[in-house]
Chains A and B, each alone.
Chain A
Amino acid sequence: MFSFEKSEVERVKPVLEKQFKGTEDAQFRTLSLENDQEIELVYIQTVIDNANIHEQFFKPFFEINDIQRYESYIKSLPNFKEFKDEQDTVKEILHGSIVFLIQNKVYMVGFIHQENSAVLDASVETTILGPQKALSENIYTNLNLIRHRYHEKSLKVEKLPEIGDKSNIQVCLLYDEKEADSEIVDKVKKRVKKADRPIVQSAGELHRALTNRKRRLFPTLLVTERPDRIAYNLYQGKVIIMIEGIPFVLIGPTVFYDFMSSMEDFYQPYWVSKFLIVLRYIGLFISLFLPSAYVGIISYNPEVLRIQLAFSIAGSRMPVPYPSYLEVLFMLIMMEMLTEASIRLPKTIGPTATTVGGLILGQAATDAGLVSNIMIIIVAAVAISNFIIPINEMSFAMRVMKYLLLIITTFSGLIGLVIGTVGLIYYLVYLDSFGKPYLKLFTSHQK
């Protein structure tokens, strides 16, 4: 029908030569047989599996010794792809395909090789009794891991258009067709298509691109590294967004409780896990409210406490020359710095920082009369209880939130704390994750 048009090879070849001729690792190989029949291979050496290319493609070519039969051999390979257009071909080469130019026909075979397909140990969300391995940085290895945990025929894997104008990262969508709400799946697809950022390199960055709110404090999608959590969430009808090159996935829609749950909850006996959950919420409340409650009570309403306690706090604050909010702010910021420092420092120096910071600084600060003893206890309690929140993103959000409550309490006393808390509840209730309410008591799992 289009016989007057150029053949596939004629269309593709100039484009490929223009795009890749100057690149060191791009290869244009010509293989020829005795009867002067030729085929041409185009690929980028550094993204394909160099070790096996000879075995897989060169050797058979000479063994088969016939172009037509070699063509059908190529077509029989598992990662064979048909030619679509020039742009698609260029993209395929960049993603590790080998392009075959055989007698006016163009074929592509995916022959990708990635260095980082080792399965990592779970390091961010660790459990005692659960599986100890997390994901890898290779999307196919990850799919393999998940498929092995979720043997269900309704599990759908969908490739989405690549993300990032420059990085062109591959993104996959994973959901259980039977469990997931199709509306939400469509919504996720639409959002991913709309996400426009030049470079996306982490799950958190994609999360930022996916939410239409520009500035947000609380995570509305869950970032996880645990295959067991992914399998559980698939069963719950959630949608998993997988990203090439990252050992984390995004799960949505998620509600507040998801961020307060650890996979450990499923592996422990019922009452133990309930106890752990209660502990977690107590930790959340302590880390959120304790600093502001201290300021509100000490500086505004010391009569709230029973008299003995009020006296002992006042006694401990005797040498402290400034109002309580400065004391709290000073110690909290020191504590945050310690936390940050121990994340960024090389693992070998880490313990030094904590020793210097925690022991020496804390002791010296009370001796110098800059902060009270009770303040040290409070800061320690806040720091420890903040780490009890199982999902990292939520614990970071709560770390920030605590300062907002502290500010409002500093300016308006205990009443500010109550108003701030109600405000926080309103804000959390107001949020939603792909159309699901973010914070709602007694969420039922029915669809």
Chain B
Amino acid sequence: MSRYFYYLVILNMLANVVALVPSILIEGRLNGTVSSLMIAIVITLIYCFVFTNSMLKFPGKGQPEIIKAYMPQWFSTVYLFLLGVLYFFSTWFVLLSFIDITKRFINPELPTLYITILFLAIICPGALMGTEKTLYALEIVLIISLPLIIGIFLKAYINEHLNWDAIRIVFTHSFDAPSIDMIGAASYSLLGFYYISIYNRVLKHRLKRLGLWRLVLIGIAGVVNIFTSLLIPIGVNGVDGAGHYIYPWFSTADTMRIEFGFIERVLFIFLLLYIGISMISATITCHIGLEHVKSIFPEIKWKEIKIIPLIVVTLFSLGSILGYFLLSQIQVYELAKVFFTLLLFAGAFSCAVLLYVVRRSKQK
């Protein structure tokens, strides 16, 4: 069983529990959160099981190769392009929220354009690296930051100012009608398994099959993760107070202090760690998007350099820079809700496509 698969799943869980997802969850905290979360987790685990195991039937192959081999040309072109665009969107959301967070919490006086270019200057070359190399970078970043982040989460749980009564209030609304926005947002943090659609190329011979108990393990990690992301801000800031923040998690981290150390405010450690995590997450989604889009174009070389990836990455960079200036914070937030919900249906569709492909491959 390859550890890299778990890294990808964990990365996606971590990267998405601080920015947009908890805001959406906290907005609906009194409207059937628990039921929505449970539904989201069950649905995503089913997707995960189907998608991962279907991909693993083709060892060493990425989704573009599989789709191209078994599907008609027009379908694979359109489908892969749309998938690529979806991945670029999720890169964009991570990027956008972290540019905003940087501006809000660390460097208010830096120009936005400068921060954006700075992020893109690392993410784009990173995405252009080989698939295996991005995994090695991911491993290093995760191994450095994961223990510290888990430490901060634990510190939040044993925080004496954590108000368990506020958390109980959320549970009293457990079985209200779930809302589709919340299901989408909650499931989004578990979607790391989709990354296998490209990374299957390098996980060859390492991952055989995703068994049930491993799925349960991922499920448990997901449940803990998503409830931490929802409940800690509520417990610290109060049921009403949690709703007042745009980035509830960073405001929560700022309530914690380290008594004995160079750095007193946990916020800064948390922020800097999360900038690192979000950068690697953006790199990986960007890489996957790039591989999908790249696969539908023929390989064009100019002086030994493949230019299609460069063009795609440049277009994406321009798009993200424009996006920040054209859209307001609220619009991004609403767009994210739509995007997360859309992914729920896109997930069902892509699982169906893969199941069909597996059947066809068996018939051949």
Partner-B contacts on A (CB < 8 A): 300-301, 303-307, 309, 412-419, 421-423, 425-426, 429-430, 437, 439-442
Contacts and interface: CB of A to CB of B under 8 A. Distances in A.
B133 A422 contact: no
B217 interface: no
Given A422-B279, A437-B132, A305 B263 contact: yes
Contacts of B125: 426
Nearest to B103: A415
Given A306-B262, A412-B118, 5 more contacts: A415-B115, A418-B276, A422-B141, A426-B122, A440-B139
Contacts of A307: 264
B129 A426 contact: yes
Interface of B: 102, 106-107, 110, 114-115, 118-119, 121-122, 125-126, 129, 132-134, 136-137, 139-141, 143, 261-265, 268, 272, 275-276, 279-280, 283
A219 B102 CA distance: 34
B129 A429 contact: yes
5 contacts: A304-B268, A306-B263, A413-B110, A429-B129, A437-B132
A430 B129 contact: yes
Nearest to B274: A418
A413 B137 contact: no
A420 to B, nearest CB: 8
Contacts of B114: 412
Given A306-B263, A412-B110, A415-B106, A422 B272 contact: no
Contacts of A304: 263, 265, 268
Contact of A439 (B136, B268, B275): B136
A304 B269 CA distance: 9
Contacts of B264: 305-307
Chain B, interface SS category: helix
A422 B122 contact: yes
Contacts of B134: 429
B250 to A, nearest CB: 14
Given A412-B114, A419-B122, A441 B276 contact: no
Nearest to A300: B107
Contacts of B262: 305-306, 309
Interface centre among B106, B143, B263 (most CB of A within 10 A): B106
Interface centre among B121, B134, B275 (most CB of A within 10 A): B275
A293 to B, nearest CB: 10
Contacts of B110: 412-413, 415
Given A306-B261, A441-B143, A415 B118 contact: yes
A441 B142 CA distance: 11
Interface centre among B114, B115, B122, B134 (most CB of A within 10 A): B122
